[in-house]
Amino acid sequence: MRMGLVTMFALMAATLLAAPPKEYPEVAPTVRRMAAMLPRDGARIVPAYADRAAWETFVRARDLKADRVVRWGEEALGKPMPHFPRERFLDFTTNGDRSRFGRENGARWRRLTVLSQAEWVEGKGRFLKALAETIDALCDDPTWVLSAHDVRRDNLEGRRVTIDLASSNYAWQMAEIVASFGDALPKATREKAIAAIRARAIDPYLKMVETGNYNNWWALSDANWNPVCHAGVVGAALALPGLTPEERAKIVGSARVFVRRFLGGFTPDGWTGEGVGYWDYGFGHFTRLAETVRLATRGREDWLLWPEARRPAAGVPLSRICGNLYPPVADCRVDVSANARLIAWIGARVGFPTQEEPSLKGRIDFPEAYLFDPARLPKERRPTTQTLPARTWFPDAQVFIGRSPTLCFMAMGGDNGVPHNHNDAGTFLLALGGTPLLGDLGGEEYTARTFSSRRYEGQLLNSFGHPVPRPADTLQAAGTKAAAKVLATDFSPARDDLLLDLAAAYPDAPGLTALTRRFTWTRQGDGAFLAVEDRFVFETPQPFETALTTWGDWERTGPDTLRVSFEGKTLEAKIEASAPWSLVGTTLEGNPQGGKWKALTPKRIAIRLDAPAAQGAVRVRFRASGQTR
């Protein structure tokens, strides 16, 4: 996806008073098509509460432990509904913290979830009073928007209503609950909920469609906000009682036109610069949106079969490095992994091999448990196993993945203008058995600074915290012009060679005229070896260093060797340089996500030439401990 942070903020500002987007003439005819396809009374995905046979079938088909679901509801009954945490909402604008509001308000919405689930499964009416009280309380909230998305407090203080990641999906969930329970909820509660959903999601979106002013920036974006918010608004519109057929058609028709912008953000080879975690989030919501519309139109609209949707659907399964490890690029955690159940579902729907059978066993979560029913998949059997190849190459994204039974490897050229960007052109990762020993460390915990002009003060976001060169003590720049260029590829069964030009990523490096990085991946028996070579040329002598980064421990084991150990696995490295060099260890600053290794401290190992040089090279060869070559 191509939209960087600067572009995103510019788009947010521009959409406030924008002229109709170029696709706007497509909306009216698309709305007419949708009006002919959609059921006049809507199309919720959750069974009617009163249809107890449907709920008994639901529980059996998913092999649900109904007593556990009921127990969650009983636990909620034993606690009062918390008040809206206004002070926590203000945290973000005062100190940049979004986590406390997220935790406390998230618990309030989970109460809605567990009470409705418990009543759906049990069906005795025990949870209805508390459910209605919870709906009433949530509808009284000043806003459903997250604190980090309301920096000026316009939503909180009632000056403006915008639609964000949370409010759109809260609207969908509540609309399904109101539609399913129907008369089992008090009339006043139903009316209050319908009015709140209209005010916070439906009516603002309809106004965009009717005026052509798409002033919610995400509607014109290629970032994951687009499908996430569209899924919530469309789902709410299809489920909510009281909407006219024309209103539903306007929302679904507009979504059909503008969700294509999201798909256009993927590279032609199906890669997403936001990483697998955001693919799960963004493309996962596109899948929810597409399946909701497919069901509503009884199969006449199938957006997952669009050519531009099939590419990202098939691309991410091939980005797995080894084990359950995926490239931790952009703001992903280092232990990021793809949603195997989502991949299995998509694979069966569009017809590519996956690692496991689609299954909803044990699932009651919204909306997946209600949308992704294997019984509705095509009847023909799809292959369900996929052997990952020795090499995967995404030429448009400049991402290479090499695999062997022992060592696995990922390298990325790319540019520094993608959403959730890190300045990391030329980064790489080495792993043993699914454990990342060396290389890209993933993202940092989000704060206000993360999405501000000070973003690249973070060492895990700028190039200092990545395994890339630092010519003339200069870090990489941000933006699409700070890009790697593929100079050559040479792939064969025994050896893969990738040569990148990295000079454009360092426009501020004084006198830098050439900087290349060559990855050489050599397979030998059951193992593999990696060599990374950086070559540089300056107009005058300048300092030069390249870096390795790790969550593990490291030690120098000889004049030209070092060892990196992590999680019981070890890598050996041999260093060659055009001039004398030293190793400089640094503890990286910041607040890394780290995943399951969050308590650990990330480290940087600089291989630094002892004196400035006008030209030269540093070459590091890696092997798994115990391998010979």
At position 72, the amino acid (one-letter code) is W
- Average pLDDT of the residues of the chain: 92
Quick one: pLDDT at residue 6? 45
Residue with tokens 């965009």: 208
At position 151, the amino acid (one-letter code) is V
Between CA 63 and CA 570 the distance in angstroms is 42
| Measured CA distances, 94 to 97, 105, 225, 456 (Å) | 8, 18, 25, 21
Q: Residue 577, Cβ neighbours under 10 Å: how many? A: 20
Q: Residue 457, Cβ neighbours under 10 Å: how many? A: 13
Between CA 129 and CA 131 the distance in angstroms is 5
pLDDT band of residue 18 (cuts 50, 70, 90) is: low
Q: What is the DSSP letter of 602?
A: -
Q: Is the pLDDT of residue 64 over 90?
A: yes
Q: Is the pLDDT of residue 97 over 50?
A: yes
Please state which architecture CATH assigns to domain 391-624: Distorted Sandwich (2.70)
pLDDT digits (tens, 9 = 90+) for 506-532: 999 999 999 999 999 999 887 899 999
Select from 370, 374, 390 the least CA-distant residue to 382: 374
Quick one: pLDDT at residue 15? 53
**Residue 182, by phi and psi: left (phi above 0), alpha (psi -120 to 50) or beta?**
left
Q: What is the DSSP letter of 382?
A: -
Quick one: pLDDT at residue 307? 92
Between CA 166 and CA 189 the distance in angstroms is 21
pLDDT digits (tens, 9 = 90+) for 473-497: 999 999 999 999 999 999 999 999 9
Quick one: pLDDT at residue 7? 47
**278 CB-near residues (< 8 Å, 6+ apart):** 224, 272, 330, 331, 332, 419, 420
pTM of the predicted model, to two decimals?
A: 0.83
Using an 8 Å Cβ cutoff, are 332 and 442 in contact? yes
Q: Is the pLDDT of residue 355 over 90?
A: no
Q: Is the pLDDT of residue 19 over 90?
A: no
Q: Is the pLDDT of residue 502 over 90?
A: yes
pLDDT digits (tens, 9 = 90+) for 243-273: 999 999 999 999 999 999 999 988 888 887 7
Quick one: pLDDT at residue 488? 98
pLDDT digits (tens, 9 = 90+) for 229-250: 999 999 999 999 999 999 999 9
- Lowest mean pLDDT across 22-31, 212-221, 371-380, 452-461: 371-380
Q: What is the DSSP letter of 125?
A: S
Using an 8 Å Cβ cutoff, are 174 and 219 in contact? no
Quick one: pLDDT at residue 344? 87
Q: Residue 405, Cβ neighbours under 10 Å: how many? A: 12
∠ CA(151), CA(156), CA(157), 5° rounding?
110
Angle, helices 307-315/276-296, rounded to nearest 10 degrees = 140
